[in-house]
Structure 1
Amino acid sequence: MTDQVMAAIDGSQFSEGVCDYAAWASLALAAPLTFVHVVDNHSQPPADTNLSGNLRFGARERLMKELSELDEQRAKVNREQGRLMLDAAKARAIEDGVTAPVTRQLNGTLVETLVELEKEMRLLVVGKRGETAHQASGHLGSNLERVVREMHRPILMVPQTFKRPENVMMAFDGSKTARKGVEMLAKSPLFNGVACHIVIVGAETAENRSQLEWALTTLREADHAAEGAIRAGEVETTLGEYQQEKAIDLMVMGAYGHSRIRHLLVGSTTTAMLRNSKIPVLILR
């Protein structure tokens, strides 16, 4: 099945938000919804360098056998936990109005599995952080950072609690791919009835004014309520201030060219913009 909304489910506190935003997207896009749980059975092998010299003859072999059995038991528990999470996600999506959500449990590593599945996706929904979120409240998990870098489908990164978007903001730099992003925003059923805001971070120049007017016209011709601004300053701070002023509840960004916004998304480290966001971020590819 192609053209699905696909949601990655794990045991984190973000899973309910993932379920609800995925259900919202599935209904808005009239697209099938699939929940995916990836079981990573690639356990680190026990270090054996210090075992043989410290254990009696035969004890090392018994220990290695017991460790192997423990790994098998752990994998079985992980699979069962995953099935329970998938069942709960499916039930929640049905409550949200999705007719026939599908669940899939797959073995592998998260990033590689999602990359393999991306041909089936229209949109990927993920939590801001994974199962270790409570251990690193300010850190965007390395898995999600890699997903953002390696996927070629739109990614919706969501917080713990769902709020139906009413005001969406797009960071815009006037580039060819940024203009394509505005066109995607204008025509996407995801944003029917949602007010759209376009923000250019830069100087108030004739070129930027022209780019902003083009973006607003494109959105208004698609029957969106649209407004925008050109503001000087640091990208993260400026967008954050606009978000607060206008009660923005979903941010749209793109991996554009070599602009400052691209460096926000695919620089050497995951950006503070994504780490600190309290609202969903839709990353257009």
Structure 2
Amino acid sequence: MTDQVMAAIDGSQFSEGVCDYAAWASQALAAPLTFLHVVDNHPQVAEADLSGNIGLGSREHLLEELASLDEQRAKLAQEQGRVMLAAAKTRAAEAGVSEPGSRQRNGTLVETLSELENDIRLLVIGKRGETAHQAVDHLGSNLERVVRTLHRPILMVPDSFETPSKVLIAFDGSKTTRKGIEMIAKSPLFEGIPVHVVIVGAETGDNRSQLEWALKTLREAGHEAEGAIRAGEVEETLRNYKEEQGIDLLVMGAYGHSRIRHLLVGSTTTAMLRRASVPVLLLR
């Protein structure tokens, strides 16, 4: 099944938010919804040398027990995943999604999503997974790897759902963000939702013409759009604008060619994502 909204769920606190935002996106895009749960059976540590001074037979017995425990853990993880997938499908159906689907795979999340990439129109994923540190501004390492690997739009969501009512596009005139403006203009995802376009930089003729192009593109497609050029540090400026305007969804290019690029690939790599209290749609 191609062109689907895919929602990656696990046992984290973000799974309900993932489920609800995925249901919203699926209905807005009129696209099928599939929930994905990946059972990672990768050993977390290398096998230790357990021989020591004990006899070989004892060591073999111990290794057999450990193998049996691993097998039991894998079966339990799969069963837990099936329960979560069933619950997610029920929740999405109750939200109005027609026939949500599910897939369970063994492996790592990044490898699995890479294999399924051609089927994905939009990936919905939580800010952190169940094994990540729970600090408020911590970002799951899985998410960072997914962002760098996948060439599909990614919607990173918080743990609770709120219907988006104002969208902010961080625009820098790069090829990625111009493509993003055109994508959003054509997409039904934000139909009827006011769109704000912000360029962080100086009030120059080039920035003004870039902003006017973006607003014209959105308005001609039927969107209510307004924009601003703000000087300052990128992350702080966008955050302030978001708070001033009551923005509840942020759109960014995952890779651009200006200062915004450094938010995702430089030393301040994940500043916006770490501090985001609203969903962030990353465009590739």
For normalisation by structure 1, the TM-score amounts to 0.96
Tell me the distance in 1 between the aligned counterparts of 2:46 and 2:216: 61
Match of 1:128 in 2: 127
Matches within 5 A, 1:221-260: 221-260=220-259
Match of 2:63 in 1: 64
Secondary structure of the 1:135 match is coil
Alpha-carbon distance, 1:138 to partner: 2.2
Match of 1:7 in 2: 7
Matches within 5 A, 1:165-244: 165-244=164-243
Match of 2:31 in 1: 31
Match of 1:19 in 2: 19
CA contact (8 A) 2:147 2:254 kept: no
Tell me the distance in 2 between the aligned counterparts of 1:93 and 1:278: 23
Q: Deviations over 1:234-285 (max 9, x none)?
A: 1000000000000000000013433211221233564111011000000011
Tell me the distance in 1 between the aligned counterparts of 2:269 and 2:8: 19
For normalisation by structure 2, the TM-score amounts to 0.96
Matched residues, number? 284
Q: Deviations over 1:173-198 (max 9, x none)?
A: 11233211111111110000000000
CA contact (8 A) 1:194 1:225 kept: yes
Tell me the distance in 1 between the aligned counterparts of 2:34 and 2:87: 13
Alpha-carbon distance, 1:212 to partner: 0.8
The one-letter amino acid paired with 2:39 is V
The one-letter amino acid paired with 2:138 is H
Tell me the distance in 2 between the aligned counterparts of 1:154 and 1:185: 11
User: Where in structure 2 are there 5+ consecutive unaligned residues?
Assistant: none
CA contact (8 A) 2:200 2:233 kept: yes
Match of 1:267 in 2: 266
Secondary structure of the 2:159 match is coil
CA contact (8 A) 1:145 1:270 kept: no
Match of 1:154 in 2: 153
Tell me the distance in 1 between the aligned counterparts of 2:265 and 2:146: 11
CA contact (8 A) 1:18 1:160 kept: yes
Percent of aligned pairs with the same amino acid? 74
CA contact (8 A) 1:4 1:31 kept: yes
Q: Deviations over 1:34-61 (max 9, x none)?
A: 0000011122466332x21232442111
CA contact (8 A) 2:262 2:269 kept: no
Tell me the distance in 2 between the aligned counterparts of 1:60 and 1:27: 56
